[in-house]
Amino acid sequence: MAIVVQKYGGTSVASTERILRAARRVAWKRSQGYDVVVVVSAMGDTTDSLIALAEAINGDAHPSPREMDMLMATGEQVSAALMAMALQRLGVPAVSLTGFQAGFFTDDTHRAARILDVKPDRVRKELEAGRVVVVTGFQGIDAAGDLTTLGRGGSDLTAIALAAALDAEACQIYTDVDGIYTADPRIVPNARRLEEISYEELLEMSSSGAQVMQLRSVEFARQYGVEFEVLSSLSPLPDEGGTEEKKTKVVARVNPQFQRVVTGVAVNSKVARITLLEVPDRPGIAAKLFSAFARNKIVIDDIVQSGGPGATQADISLTVAKDDLDVSLDICREVMQEWPGTQLVYDVDVAKVSIVGSGVASNYGVAATMFTALAERGINIEMITGSEISISCLVRASRAAEAVQAIHEKFGLGDGDQPVAIGTRGGEDAKAGQK
Ligand code: ADP
Ligand code: ASP
Ligand code: MG
């Protein structure tokens, strides 16, 4: 029988009522002739509460990463067992499995473990015995037999990796929105649901701060060619007349009918900016600085170096995750000892606002439109970076939501909006927000 993997996120299993409702959706899928594997997150904000408990015990000291994983992995075990019970109550044979039982083998990077192998033999056996298999999201086991977790939001990765390992016919990510939107609907109420989005665009949206899918899960999906859907667990159930579910399909290539210049706007408020002023401008300086970051396994978000032609000094600005700020500042202070005169400043009251779209680099006027939207609201741009398919501006954190709204409106991305015309070189004008 064809296998379908369904993942239910924290809000979708936040209460016993929600778990029972999700179980009805699973039962319906099974009644359609599918073998169903369910991946669950911890209930509601359980993971945050567990982290808060650890902080209360540890104070300023860093808790042991191994013990953090022991702690955090419990959240998903609660919801998996309850989901299996909910299914059994509906008369559906079901069994819950931990990440280890489901065959998730990882490295030993606690709190951000990488999947080395998925051997879902037990999952297959249970499916053959006619059971729905409920797997705890977000967790695995390392070579020493210790529990590991896959990074925040990691249940998405569990679902996608299982879909790949089981060669599933479909992978459905159920959350509290019925798809990927042109912007976070909590910030932009008239944001529009996208019918389709490519791995590349979603990768860029995720790395630009759109938290709807875990970044690593999208990377994994692209690498293994796992197409998946994002849907709402809060939408009507099939027996309430909801057989046609609204969704966004995440695909390798977007159907030309849905292609557009700008796909969406994202905001990342979890970044901090560090600037090194008056760094010596000679070969090897950047290599030294960023090698130190690499040795400490710190991921750099964006980098900008400025300094005019012929200058003997330059300024280097970079953004990192706020969580990595303290370690990053220590790294800079250490490296700077060899550069007398260099000064270090940092800022946590910043946010990065980005536009993402496959046509960003190949159309003129995109950057101008974005910057004009900000200028019209008097929002100052403090740093600009870009990639093949995105442009990002650092702004004051207090203006971030307004910046997203202004840019979204300027490009005409919203429901019922008229997409702004953007120029393609030698071609016809394209519509920025075209479906
Ligand atoms: P789950 O608990 O199901 O994993 P998340 O909270 O991780 O759900 O992700 C869903 C949330 O992502 C939505 O409630 C929404 O506010 C947010 N989000 C951010 N950007 C977008 C976007 N572009 N499209 C849809 N949702 C988005
Ligand atoms: N419960 C974990 C978290 O909150 C994993 C997940 O929800 O995907 O990060
Ligand atoms: Mg999530």
Q: Quickly state the pLDDT bin for 259 (edges 50, 70, 90).
A: confident
Please list the residues that pair with 232 across neighbouring strands.
175
Share of the chain above pLDDT 70, in %: 97
Question: Model confidence at 107, in pLDDT bands (50, 70, 90)?
Answer: very high
Distance, in Å, from the CA atom of 130 to the CA atom of 135, rounded to the nearest integer, reads 16
How many angstroms separate the CA atoms of 229 and 194, rounded?
A: 11
Residue 276 pLDDT = 97
Residue 420, pLDDT score: 83
* E-assigned strand segments in 220-323: 228-232, 247-251, 264-268, 271-280, 300-306, 313-321
* Ligand 1 contacts CB of residue 174 (under 6 A): no
Residue 62's pLDDT is what? 83
The CATH number of the structural domain formed by 3-258 is: 3.40.1160.10
Q: Residue 103: left (phi > 0), alpha (psi -120 to 50), or beta?
A: left
Ligand 1 contact, 264 CB (< 6 A): yes
Question: For ligand 2, is residue 99 a contact (CB within 6 Å)?
Answer: no
Which of 156, 160, 279, 170 is closest to 224 using CA atoms? 160
The answer to whether the CB of 315 falls within 8 A of the CB of 277 is yes
Contact between 10 and 44 (Cβ < 8 Å):
yes
* Nearest of 56, 6, 51, 12 to residue 32 by alpha carbon: 6
Beta strands 363-364; 421-424: pairing state: antiparallel
Ligand 1 pocket member 212 (CB < 6 A): yes
Task: Indicate the top mutation candidate among 46, 79, 152, 156 to test ligand 2's pocket, ranked by most ligand atoms within 8 A of CB.
Answer: 152
* pLDDT for the residue 426: 61
Q: Token match 């990768």: residue?
A: 203
Inter-CA distances, 407 with 375, 397, 401, 402, 432, Å: 10, 16, 10, 9, 12
Q: How confident is the model at residue 433 (pLDDT cuts 50, 70, 90)?
A: low
> In a 3-state reduction of DSSP, which class is residue 306?
strand
pLDDT band of residue 432 (cuts 50, 70, 90) is low
Is residue 1 very low, low, confident or very high in pLDDT (cuts 50, 70, 90)? confident
Residue 156's nearest CA partner among 9, 357, 286 is 9
Residue carrying structure tokens 């090698």? 291
Q: Of the ranges 108-112, 241-245, 343-347, which one carries the lowest mean pLDDT score?
A: 241-245
Determine the Cα–Cα distance for residues 230 and 212; give it in Å rounded to an integer. Answer: 9
Ligand 1, atom 12: nearest CA belongs to which residue? Answer: 212
DSSP secondary structure string for all residues of 79-105: HHHHHHHHHHHTT--EEEE-TTTTTEE
pLDDT, residue 311, reads 82
The sign one gets for the Cα dihedral 110, 115, 117, 118 is: positive
Tens digit of each residue's pLDDT (9 = 90 or more) over 112-129: 999 999 999 999 999 999
pLDDT value at position 386? 94
Please give the helix or strand (H or E) that residue 375 lies within, else none: helix 366-376
pLDDT of residue 307: 81
What's residue 428's pLDDT? 59
What's the whole-number average pLDDT of the chain?
Answer: 95
Sequence-distant (≥ 6) Cβ neighbours of residue 125 within 8 angstroms: none
- pLDDT value at 205 more than 60: yes
CB 208 within 8 Å of CB 385: no
